[in-house]
Chains A and B, each alone.
Chain A
Amino acid sequence: MTDSAEPVLEVRDLSKRFPGVRALEAVNLTVAPGEVHALVGENGAGKSTLIKVLTGVHRADAGEVRYQGRPVTFRRPLDAQRAGISTIYQEVNLIPLLSVARNLFLGREPRRFGLVDVRRMNREAGQTLSRYGVDVDVTRPLRSLSLGAQQMVALARAVAVDARVLIMDEPTSSLEPREVETLFRLVRQLNAGGVAVVYVSHRLDELYQLCDRVTVLRDGRVVHTGPMADLDRLRLVSTMLGRDLAQVRQEGLTRFRAAPPPRDAPPVLTVDRLRKRHVLRDVSFTVRPGEVTGLGGLLGSGRSETAKAIVGALPLDGGEITVAGRRLRRPTPRRAIRAGVALLPEDRKAEGIVPDLSVRENIVLAAMPRLARAGIVTRDRQDRLVETFMKRLRIRASSPEQRAGDLSGGNQQKLLLARWLCLNPKLLLLDEPTRGIDVGAKAEVQELIGELARDGLGVVLISSDLEELVEGAERVVVLRAGAVVGELVGDDVSEHAIMSALATGEGPDDDR
Chain B
Amino acid sequence: MTAEPATITPAGPGRATLIRHLQHYGVYAAVLALVVFNALFTDHFLDLANLRTQLVQVAPVVIVALGMALVIGTEGVDLSVGSVMALAAAVLPLYLGFGAWPAAAMALLAGVAAGALNGTLVAVVGLQPIVATLALLVAGRGIALVLADGQLKQLRNPQVLGWGTDDVLGVPVVVAVAVVLAGLVGFAVHRTTYGRQLVAIGGNRPAAQLAGLPVRRVLIVTYVLSGLFAALAGVLATARLTASDPSAIGNLIELSAITAVVVGGTPLTGGRVRVLGTVAGALLIQLLRATLIKHDVPDSTAQMAQAVIILVAVYLARERRSR
Q: Which residues does A use to contact B, with CB under 8 Å?
A: 18-21, 23, 43-49, 311, 313, 333-334, 336-338, 343, 345, 350-357, 361, 365-366, 368-369, 372, 375-377, 419
Contact = CB atoms under 8 A, between A and B. Distances in A.
A350 B206 contact: yes
Given A19-B8, A375-B192, A377-B193, A352 B3 contact: no
B199 A357 contact: yes
Contacts of A351: 204, 206-207, 210
A368 B197 contact: yes
B210 A44 contact: no
A46 B200 contact: no
Contacts of A44: 1-3
B209 A333 contact: yes
A247 B5 CA distance: 36
Given A365-B213, A366-B213, 16 more contacts: A18-B3, A45-B1, A47-B1, A49-B2, A333-B209, A333-B211, A345-B207, A354-B271, A357-B271, A361-B196, A368-B193, A369-B193, A372-B192, A375-B192, A376-B192, A419-B211
Chain A CB count within 10 A is highest, among B193, B209, B214, B271, for B193
B49 interface: no
21 contacts: A18-B3, A19-B8, A21-B2, A21-B5, A43-B1, A45-B1, A45-B2, A47-B2, A49-B1, A337-B211, A353-B204, A354-B208, A355-B271, A356-B203, A357-B200, A365-B208, A366-B211, A368-B196, A376-B193, A377-B191, A419-B211
A419 B197 CA distance: 14
A377 B213 CA distance: 15
Contact of A354 (B2, B191, B200, B212): B200
Nearest to A350: B206
Contacts of B289: none
A21 B2 CA distance: 9
B45 interface: no
B194 interface: yes
Nearest to A338: B212
B272 interface: yes
B6 interface: yes
Nearest to A49: B2
Classify chain B: how many residues form its interface, as a range: 20 to 34
Contacts of A311: 210
A365 B3 contact: no
A274 to B, nearest CB: 18
Contact of B209 (A46, A47, A313): A313
A311 B209 CA distance: 11
Nearest to A17: B5
A46 B2 contact: yes
B1 A377 contact: no
Contacts of A354: 199-200, 203-204, 207-208, 271
A343 to B, nearest CB: 6
Contacts of A45: 1-2
Contact of B272 (A21, A48, A356): A356
B322 to A, nearest CB: 13
Listed from nearest, the 4 A-B pairs whose CB atoms lie closest are: A18-B5, A48-B1, A337-B212, A354-B203
A311 B214 CA distance: 15
A366 B8 contact: no
Contacts of A21: 2-3, 5
A375 B198 CA distance: 13
B210 A355 contact: no
Contacts of B206: 350-351
A338 B213 CA distance: 11
Contact of A352 (B1, B194, B210, B271): B210
Contact of B200 (A47, A361, A369, A375): A361
B207 A20 contact: no
A68 to B, nearest CB: 27
Contact of B2 (A23, A334, A353, A368): A23
Contacts of B1: 43-45, 47-49
Given A19-B6, A357-B203, A376 B210 contact: no
B208 A372 contact: no
A338 B212 CA distance: 9
A355 B272 CA distance: 11
A337 B211 CA distance: 8
Contact of A366 (B2, B3, B212): B212
A372 B193 contact: yes
A345 B210 contact: yes
A99 B286 CA distance: 51
Contacts of A369: 193
A236 B261 CA distance: 56
Nearest to B209: A333
B193 A355 contact: no
Chain A CB count within 10 A is highest, among B4, B210, B272, for B210
